[in-house]
Structure 1
Amino acid sequence: MINYSPVTGDPIGHPIKPQPKHCFLITQLGKNKPDLVNEIQKSINKCCQSIDYKTIDASTLTTGKDFLIKIWELIISVPICVIIIHKDTPVKTQANLYYELGIAQALGKETIVIKTPEATMPSDLIRTEYIEFNDLFNEKFNDFLKCTIRRSEYFAEMAENTENNPLLAIDYLKRAFLITGDNKYKNKVNDILKLEKFEGRAKSSIELLATKF
């Protein structure tokens, strides 16, 4: 996949360090964050830890540079993005959160919406499955995580079936690697590199950038 800068629209010419088995939380930050959002995050953390996943958000990393670029690169680096919506989340903040969700979906990430009981969903997301934070939350969120893990098997199978399209196969293998952290998918990419003789390409070429994970 070619990644384009959300600021300039130009293709990105550098690799973005992957963070396999990480979940990026798209959520309100700061001192005005509702207590219930903190409670939701704790529940998500517990569920993720049970499958050896870590959770991060926009405050995890401090770069001193462009905030949008930082979030965009964090989303690219992970397999899962979870958005948390509370009824008291300010409208401007909700706009930012949904924008980040759109980025995640456009980049092919596994996504899920978590909402508090009284929060409402935008009409454009009426077909989007969500999990409500209630007594069944842990069970349903764990089901989502299990479903995501199974997706890695699908991606690996698709990579095998697209052997005549090496860039697509590499993208599937990268997605499987991000979900599982299994280096066997990286080894398969190296096999593709040797077979397709990409070694002579420029380091900033689409082919070689796609393999940097």
Structure 2
Amino acid sequence: MDNSSHDAEREPAPRREPRRLPWWGRAVGGLAVLAVVLVLVGRFSLLPGFGDLFREDTVDRSGPVLLKSIQDMHRYEGAAGNFQVVVDLEKDAAFLPDSVRGTRTLYVGAGSVSGYVDLGGLGEQAVTVNEERTKVSLRLPHAVLGTAALDLDRSYAVSKQRGLLDRLGDLFTDNPAGEQAVQRLAVQHITEAARDSGLVERTEKNTTTMLEGLLRSLGFQEVTVGYV
């Protein structure tokens, strides 16, 4: 029997399709490639000659500043306090480890709060003068605290820890690893500290001293300042 005839009649073996990775495998592979690219970009930027390829130029194309309004101030700022707080803010995902999803930021916030007495609403009944014009009595509203102002030149992030998903998300946002949350928290803590610092009492004391010196220079021998 001719073997060649049997080989001709034999059916060809079916081709084996290459195994395809499941969707989650392809996703993990894509993330790994992206991570390698980011590492290479960061490393190459440190090498001589490669820094210019990844250099960022900053151009200020801001328009002119527009004056919206002017307000007359009718208050006297009698004291101001400078504060500093270390904010440790951590955000975790419920069912994911911190290395995958989560952030922790250590931020030093420096700011100031001023205390003032509002003199704009005083009426005639707030000032009492005797006939000889030697005694004067003032009744002023209690001092209040202004809004805490964060000094960005003296505030800074000590450390930032972010999970993989948070780092990838920063690539598609205009403000990666934004510090608005820790800045708001720093302002809140500074405001609370100012309330317990005796700044209001110090403001009223300094306002009283200022008014006594001013009115005595105008000829009044006895000056009484009260807060209601």
Q: Same fold (TM over 0.5)?
A: no
Structure with a larger share of its residues in helix: 1
Structure with a larger share of its residues in strand: 2
Give the TM-score category using the shorter length: under 0.3
